[in-house]
Each structure stands twice: as C-alpha cells, then as structure tokens.
Amino acid sequence: MFEKCLTNVRSAAPLVHNITNYVTVNDVANAILACGASPIMADEPDEAEDITSICAGLNINIGTLNQRTIQAMHRAAKKAASLGHVILLDPVGAGASRLRTQTAADLLDNVPFTVIRGNVSELKALAIGSTTTKGVDADAADTVTDANLDRMIDFVRGYAKTTKCVIAMTGAIDLVADADTCYVIRNGRPEMSRITGTGCQLSGIMTAFVAANREHPLEAAAAAVCTMGLAGEIGWKYMQRGDGNATYRCRIIDAICNMDAQTLRAGAKYEIRRNQ
C-alpha cells in the first residue's frame, strides 16, 4: 500500500499550499518537489483563498506566527474546507507560548483538519493541556518508548477519535493513527533531530501524500512518515568524513527524490496495531 501511495504522488503531482515556518520554507518546498508534488508558498491574507482554491492540499505550520499569517491561515483553511481539500495542521511549539497554543486551539475549533502532525509534547499540549514543550522541541520526558508504547497508542487513537483526524505523532518511534488503527513506525535516524526543518518537511510531503491518496488518508500519512524516515537512513549512509548538518539535510532531500516503490517496500519498518 505504501508503494502505491508514493506512486500516486508522483503521478498526480498535487499542488500543495503551504503557510509555513519561514525558518524552513525553502527546505519544505524542496522536499515537496522531491517527492513528486508541487509546492506554493503564500501567506498574504488577501491572496490566501485564491491560492488555496487552485491547490489539492493545505499545509498549515505555526512555527513562526504573526497576526498576518494567522489571518491567512484561517482564510485559507475556510476556503480549503469549502472545497473539500486535504488540510494538515503542524502545531509547532504548541505549549511553549500562549499565542502558539491558542492559535492551534482556535484552528482546531474552526477547521475540519484531515491530519494533525506533531511531536509528543505538542500533541499533549493540545489534547490535555500539558505545557512541557521546550521551544519547538519535545521535552525529553515526552518520548515514545517500548515501555510506554501501548499507552501512547491508546492516546493517539483516542485523540484521533476526538478530533476526527488522522494523528501523526513523530519522534524516536512514530505513531500514525485513526480511531481504530495505529501504524507503529521505526524508520529514521536520531541525527535527523539535529537538523532544523525535518518535521516541517515531513508535514509538507505528508500533505502531498494525503492529497494524492484521498481515499486512504491513514495509509498515506503513514507512507509519508516511512518515506521521510527511510530517506534519513539512506542519506546517512552516504555521509563522508567532514560532512555535517548541511550536507545531511541535502542528502535527505536527495534520498526522497530518488525514492522508488521498491526501495520503500524493502525499507519501511512498521507494524499495525488495531483495536480488538
């Protein structure tokens, strides 16, 4: 199924509207291009609706908020919802400040999101009011481990049921769930967390995957997570003496670009947990 999701992205080449973090906007655009889709970045409120109307998906990332972009997010989301488009929320840093948390909460109250993608701290901040987020990173205590895996699966499935969204909780172990089914994904490298923007890139390509596979949003979101994690593994294999973060960032994008169905099929590491 994951291979078909990737193939569908490359054949459909969906246009994705990104109102995203200006720290990582170029990398997000390049990652979306690498997976076979097309990005457009537009955060001016007066054109947000027009741009969204020509796209197949909307990626909202609250990483660098201001009042202008908040207005653009709401206007674009309202238009996308009216057209039945895929809409993804990346609540970067939710729990770290009142503005971030309230903005994400307001969006959730008013927008029928298809997917919410964040780390454990961000999702806990939205779901249960926890405020252990440190900057835009997860608190060290907020990690998914084999010891707490069952509890965290219950959490993401419960939050998916509450929000009626696919929930993608990313970290050392990734969980992608709807109310009944959870993909437990173990692709990736710890070094990916040392590069600014891998999560933002994932949100961009995940929007593309879901837009190209609208009938299977859970599987498409999980396929995007496996693709990104596997790209991190492949990119790391090509690192040479003297290479650092900047090189690794490029190698990950190159690996996404060169990803094919056979590579994804052979390299995806996941198990499926379903409600009994």
**CATH for 14:** 3.40.1190.20
* Number of folded domains that form the chain: 1
Cα separation of 252 and 238, whole Å?
A: 10
Closest C-alpha among 35, 228, 254, 221 to residue 15: 35
Each residue of 123-141: pLDDT tens digit? 999 998 755 554 444 444 5
Each residue of 20-37: pLDDT tens digit? 999 999 999 999 999 999
Range of the domain at 90: 2-274
For the whole model, what pTM was predicted?
0.95
Each residue of 196-220: pLDDT tens digit? 999 999 999 999 999 999 999 999 9
Q: Please, what is the average pLDDT of the chain? A: 94
Show the low-confidence residues of the chain (pLDDT under 50). 134-140
pLDDT at 150: 95
